[in-house]
Amino acid sequence: MEQLYGTGVALVTPFKQDGSLDLDALKKVVRHSIEGGVDYLVVLGTTGESVTLTKEEKKRVVETVILENNGRLPLVIGIGGNNTSAVAEELKSTDLTPFDAVLSVSPYYNKPTQEGIFQHYKVLALASSKPIILYNVPGRTGSNILPATVVRIAESCPNVIGIKEACGDIEQIKELIREVPDGFYVISGDDITALPTVIEGGIGVISVLG
Q: For residue 3, what pLDDT band results from cuts at 50, 70 and 90? A: confident
Average pLDDT over residues 4-27: 97
How far apart CA 117 and CA 72 sit, in angstroms, is 34
Mean pLDDT, range 45-59, rounded to an integer? 94
For residue 140, which phi and psi values (nearest 5 degrees)?
A: -105, -35
Give tens-digit pLDDT for 136-154.
Answer: 999 999 999 999 999 999 9
Q: Indicate which residue of 58, 121, 130, 164 is catalytic.
A: 164
- Per-residue pLDDT, averaged over 51-69, amounts to 97
Describe the chain by its helix, strand, coil percentages, rounded to 5: 45, 20, 40
For residue 107, the model assigns a pLDDT of: 97
- Alpha carbon distance 128, 87 (integer Å): 10
Whether residue 23 is predicted with pLDDT greater than 80 in this model: the reply is yes
CATH code, domain with 11:
3.20.20.70
Residue 108 appears among annotated catalytic residues: no
16, 135, 174, 185: which one is catalytic?
Answer: 135
Domain total of the chain: 1
Q: How confident is the model at residue 210 (pLDDT cuts 50, 70, 90)?
A: low
**Helix axes 170-179 and 147-156, enclosed angle (nearest 10):** 30
Question: In this predicted structure, what is the pLDDT of residue 176?
Answer: 98
Strands 40-43 and 132-136: unpaired
168-201: pLDDT as tens digits: 999 999 999 999 999 999 999 999 999 999 999 9
Q: Which of 92, 166, 109 is nearest to 133 (CA)?
A: 166
pLDDT at position 160 over 70: yes
* Predicted confidence (pLDDT) per residue in 83-116, tens digit: 999 999 999 999 999 999 999 999 999 999 999 9
Determine the pLDDT at residue 102: 99
* Structural domain of 166: 2-207
> Cα dist. 144→7, 135, 149 in Å?
24, 10, 10
164 as an active site residue: the answer is yes
Closest CA to 165 of 186, 191, 192: 186
8 A C-beta contact, residue 38 and residue 55: no
